[in-house]
Structure 1
Amino acid sequence: MSRITKEESSPVGFRILDLFAGPGGLDVAAHVLGHEITGIEWDAGACATRGAAGMDTFKGDVRRYRAALFPRAQVLTGGPPCQTFTVAGHGAGRKALDQVLEYIERLRKAVEAEDQEWKEIFRTWRQISEELRRRELEAKKVRAAKSKVDELRTSKRRAVKDRLEQLGRSKDQVRKFLKDLRNPRSVDFAFDDELKGLLKEFIDLDDEHHRLREVLEGLGDERTGLVLQPLWWVIERSRRPGSEPYEAVILEQVRAVMPVWNAYAEVLTTLGYRTKTQLMHTEAFGVPQTRRRAVLMARLGETSPANELFADPLPEVPETHEQYQAKELSSTSPKARRAGTSASKRPREMWISMEKALENARKISPRKVHRRPHFTVISNYGTGGVPEERGQRDDNAPSATITGKVSRNRLVRKGSNEDLAEFDRFTHAEAGVLQTFPVEYPWCGNDVSQQIGNAVPPRLALHVLCRVLEPELSAAEAEARLEQAVSDLEAWKPAGPTKILGHRDLKGHPLAQTPPPAHS
C-alpha cells in the first residue's frame, strides 16, 4: 500500500508526483484513495519520516530534477516554500511577492506568444533562472557582510554595557540604556566621552545593518525561485516536444500565496486547464484545527466538444463542516446556521474539537494518546501583537493553527490555568492527529514539530484530491467515498520502511520509464 509499484495503476488510481513533499501529508491521503505517489523532498528529517512511513521518495533539491525525468507522472502536486511572502515589516514580503509575480508574467507572455517555439519558451526560463542565480550569489555576499556588521554591533553593545557598569549605573538603568539602543539616535551619552564614541560607532554600524537588510530584501532569496518550479514543470510537460501534459495539478500553501496561485491559474488556463483557486478553512473540512490554506486546482480540459463536463472552470471544494468562530452570537451559532441550510443540501456538521479528535485516536492507539482532564492550550505565540498575551483555546474547540512551535504550547487544567502534573505538552503523535495524520504515523528525524507544522493536513488533501481527480462522482458517491477514506486514513498503519532514493535510482523507477507509444 505504501510503495509505488511497477504495475499499471488501477482504473481509478493516478500516478502522482509531489514536489516539496514534506513528511507525507498529501501522500498518505493519496494512498488511502488508491493512487500511487512519489515525493521529492530535501529535508533530512522529513525524508526520515517518509522512509519510515513507506513513502516513495527522492531526496534532494527540486531544482536538481526536472519534469522530463518523470514522464509517467499524470498528476503534479506540491507546496513550494513561500515564507518570504509572510515576512512582516519593511515590505520584504511584498517585494518577494511582486518579484515572483513579475517572473510569472514573463512566463505567461512566453507561453501565449503566437507561433512560440519551445526553444524560445525555454530561453525565457533560462534567463529567469540565471537572473535568480545571480541574485542568490549576490545575496550570499550581502548576508556574509551583514553577519560581520551584526557581530560588530553586538560587540559595541557589550562595550556600552561594560562602560555603564564601570560608571556605577544600576541594573535597571543599564537595561534601559540597552533597550534604547534599538533607536540609537535617541540615546544621550553626553555624560561620558567614551560612551559618546561607542554610540557614534554603534550608529554607523546600525545604519549599515539597515542598508544591507534593504539590499537583501530587494534581492530576495532562493525560495523566490523555488515557488516558480511547479509552474515550470507544468509548462515543460505542456510545451516540450514529445511530452504529454499533466492531467491535473494541485498546489497548496499559506493564504499569502493566493496572488501567486491566481497568476498561475492564468498561465494554466492558457495551457488548456480548467482551474480554481480557493481559500480553504481547514476546520470546515473536518480538520480539528483552524488554519487557512490557499489551494490551486487544475484539470486538463476535455478535447471532445460533445463532452461538456470540462467546459467550465472547476467548481469549489464543498465544505462539510462549520467554520469555527470563537465568539458566536446565538443567531449565528452552528446550530442556527445548520437549521437554515437549504433542504437540497446536506447540513454541515459541527467542526471537530481537539477533545473529539484525540479521543478517537486514543481508541485506535491508547499508548500514543494520553488521557487527560479537560484542558486549555496556551500558545507559544502572543495575540494582537502583544507577546505576553498568549493565545488560549479550550479542548472543546478546534486547535489553533499547528505550527513548528507546537511542542512549546502548554496544556493547563481547563478553568483554572493550573499546570497539569504530567502530559502538559502534546506528543508528536497527538500533534500529528490534530493535523489529521494517522495516530500510528512514524515520526522520525530532526525537528519533528516543524515537520508536523509544515505538513499538508491529510484530511484536507482527501477533499481536494477527490474533487479534482474524481469529478464524475455524484454528490452521494463523493460523500460515501470521503467517508470511507476518512475511516481508512484514521486507521492507516505503515506497511514497512522504504529506501530513500537519489538521482542514481531514477533508472528503472516506475515514473521514470518512458511511456509506451500511443498505438501499442
Structure 2
Amino acid sequence: MTSTAPQQSSILDKPFVLDLFAGPGGLDVAGHALDIPSLGIEWDKGACLTRYAAGLDTLHADVSAVRKSAFESLPPEVNVLAGGPPCQTYSVAGHGAGREALERVKTYIERLTAGEPDEAIDESLKTLSDPRTALVLEPLRYAIQATRSPTREKRPYDVIVLEQVPAVEELWHHYAMVLRETGLPDGTKYKVVVGRLDTETYGVPQKRSRAVLIARREGLDAPSLPAPTHHSYEAKEWNRRNESDQAASHRQQPTLGGEGLLPWRSMGEVLGNPAGRHPGRPTPFLVRSNYGSSGVSGRRGVRSDQQPAFTVTGRISRSVIFQHLDNDIVYEGPRFSMNEAGMLQSFPPDYPWSGTAQAQQVGNAVPPLFGAHLLSAALGMPRPDTDVMSKPWQPATTEQQAKLRSHGCGAEDACTDRCPRPADQVAPPSTMRPRKPKKIDQTKSAK
C-alpha cells in the first residue's frame, strides 16, 4: 500500500525495514505512517492474512528458516532490522522457561558475537526446554548474517530496533554490552541504548510496558530513546484521587505535573466517537478484565472509560463491558469488537483483521503508535503526531492481496509447501509450568 505521508528527514537516505516476527503489522503500520517501506516475516497464517488484507509486504515463513536458507533472497537495500521476538517463555503470563534460561541465553549471545559456527550454536540450543526461548537470538543472528551476505556485499545493518516484554530487558542490556564492546564477528560495533517504556506515555490508550533496544552502527550519531509525549498512568494515584467520589468512574483525568506533556489517552477518548465503520461506543462504561488482580483469579480488575485500557492481550474479547444509564441502571453491553480492540492498541480504525485467532493477533502486536515513536527515534526523525493512526485504514484491493500472497506464500489464493505447516505452530509440551521442587520436612526425614 502506498503511503501518502510526507517524507521526513532521517539519518539514513532511504530507510528500509526488515520486520522479524512481524505479526499482523504493528511496526509496518508505523512505517507506513512515516513513509518507510518494510518487509515483514511472519509464520502465523492468520496474521499473514491480516497483513495481506492490509496491503503489507510479507513473507509467510519461519524467521529461522529464512535466515538459514533464503537470506540472500531478502532485499539487499534493507538497512534497518526490527522486531519483537515471541514473548511466551519470558512473559509473566507464560510458564517461565525463558526467564529461567536468561543466563544461558547470555552465553549464546557471547558465543554468537565471538564467531562460533551456527551448527555448534544450533546443537546447544536443542537442550533448551522450550525452543521458542532461542527466538530472542534471531535478531542478533540476522545482524551477523548480514555481514556475511554476498548479496549485501557484507554490509551490516545501520539501525537495529527491538522490543519485548519487560523480563527481556536484562537480555537487551547484554545485547547492548556485546554490540558496544565486542561487536559482530566482522568487527562492526554499535552505539546502543536500552530502556523500559510505557506505551501510554506515547499516546497509546493502554497501559503496557515494553523493554526496548535501539542501536546505530558506529559512524552514526548515538541513539536515544523516544521522549514521552503524554503523562504516565498510575492506577494507585488514580484510585487515591477518586476514592472519596462514589462516581469515580465518571471523573475526568486529574491534572498531573510534567511540563509540556499531554494527558494520557483514555478508552472513551478513542472509542467514544465514530470513526470509519466504528459507530462510536456509548460512554460512560466500565471494563472488567478477564485477568485476576494480585494473583487472585476471582478479583477482577475494573477500569472506566476515563482510564487507559489494561494491557491488551489475546483475551481482550473476554473483557466484560458494563454500560451506565442516566438513572444509574447498569447492564452488560457488547464486548469489544476486533476493530475496537485494535484501536486500543492504536491500530487505525477499520484495520482489516482476518484469519483465525484475531484476538491473539491483536494482543501480540506492537502498538503502531508506539512503533512509530520507536522508529522515529531510531532514525532521528521528528516524533509522530498522536493522531497519526486516527484515519481509517484503506484495505488492499483483491488484486493487491493476490499479488502480496503470491509473493508471501507462493500462490495467489493459498499457502504452498514453502509456508510453515500449521502443526509446527503448536506450542510444545514444555509450555506447562515447571514443577517446583517439593519441600522436605527435615523433622520427618530425621525420623
Please classify the TM superposition score into its range, dividing by the shorter chain length: 0.7 to 0.9
Partner of 1:294: 211
1:127 is aligned, of 115, 120, 127, to 120
Kindly state the Cα deviation for residue 295 of structure 1 after the two structures are TM-superposed: 1.0
One-letter identity of the residue aligned with 2:175: Y
Give the Cα–Cα distance (whole angstroms) in 1 for the partners of residues 213 and 394 of structure 2.
29
Q: What are structure 2's unaligned runs of at least 5 residues?
A: 4-9, 242-252, 412-447
Give the Cα–Cα distance (whole angstroms) in 1 for the partners of residues 362 and 374 of structure 2.
20
Q: TM-score, normalised by structure 2?
A: 0.77
One-letter identity of the residue aligned with 2:289: S
* 1:75 is the counterpart of 2:90: no
Partner of 2:311: 401
Deviates further, 230-239 or 438-447: 230-239
Deviates further, 66-75 or 269-278: 66-75
Alignment of 1:143-292 (within 5 A): 219-238=128-147, 242-269=153-180, 270=183, 271-292=188-209
1:349 is aligned, of 233, 237, 262, to 262
Kindly state the Cα deviation for residue 385 of structure 1 after the two structures are TM-superposed: 0.7
Kindly state the Cα deviation for residue 13 of structure 1 after the two structures are TM-superposed: 4.2
Q: 1:327 to 1:82 in 2, by over 3 A?
A: closer
Is 1:28–1:489's contact at 8 Å kept on the other side of the alignment?
Answer: no
Q: 1:226 to 1:89 in 2, by over 3 A?
A: closer
Q: Deviations over 1:81-118 (max 9, x none)?
A: 1321235799644323222122112223x1xxxxxxxx
More helix by share: 1
Partner of 1:492: 393
Give the Cα–Cα distance (whole angstroms) in 2 for the partners of residues 417 and 126 of structure 1.
65
Q: 1:372 to 1:15 in 2, by over 3 A?
A: same
Kindly state the Cα deviation for residue 409 of structure 1 after the two structures are TM-superposed: 0.3
Partner of 1:45: 46
Alignment of 1:44-123 (within 5 A): 44-66=45-67, 67-70=71-74, 71-86=76-91, 92-108=97-113, 110=114, 121=115, 123=116
For this pair of structures, how many residues does the alignment match? 373
Partner of 2:255: 335
* 1:24 is the counterpart of 2:28: no
Q: 1:408 to 1:417 in 2, by over 3 A?
A: farther
One-letter identity of the residue aligned with 2:81: L
Kindly state the Cα deviation for residue 273 of structure 1 after the two structures are TM-superposed: 1.4
Q: 1:292 to 1:379 in 2, by over 3 A?
A: same
Q: 1:97 to 1:419 in 2, by over 3 A?
A: farther
One-letter identity of the residue aligned with 2:65: R
Partner of 1:319: 228
| Cα RMSD (Å) | 2.6
Alignment of 1:463-474 (within 5 A): 463-469=373-379, 471=380
Q: Deviations over 1:461-508 (max 9, x none)?
A: 111111111x2x5xxxx25xx12x843653432243423234869xxx
Q: 1:417 to 1:276 in 2, by over 3 A?
A: farther
Q: 1:89 to 1:81 in 2, by over 3 A?
A: closer
SS in 1 for 2:255: helix
1:443 is aligned, of 341, 353, 365, to 353
Partner of 2:244: none
Q: TM-score, normalised by structure 1?
A: 0.67
Kindly state the Cα deviation for residue 299 of structure 1 after the two structures are TM-superposed: 1.3
Give the Cα–Cα distance (whole angstroms) in 2 for the partners of residues 392 and 349 of structure 1.
24
Kindly state the Cα deviation for residue 432 of structure 1 after the two structures are TM-superposed: 0.3
Give the Cα–Cα distance (whole angstroms) in 2 for the partners of residues 89 and 402 of structure 1.
15
Give the Cα–Cα distance (whole angstroms) in 1 for the partners of residues 2 and 121 of structure 2.
37
Kindly state the Cα deviation for residue 220 of structure 1 after the two structures are TM-superposed: 1.9
Give the Cα–Cα distance (whole angstroms) in 2 for the partners of residues 90 and 320 of structure 1.
34
Is 2:226–2:373's contact at 8 Å kept on the other side of the alignment?
Answer: yes
Higher Rg of the two aligned structures? 1
Partner of 2:431: none
Kindly state the Cα deviation for residue 239 of structure 1 after the two structures are TM-superposed: 5.2
Is 1:438–1:493's contact at 8 Å kept on the other side of the alignment?
Answer: no
One-letter identity of the residue aligned with 1:82: C
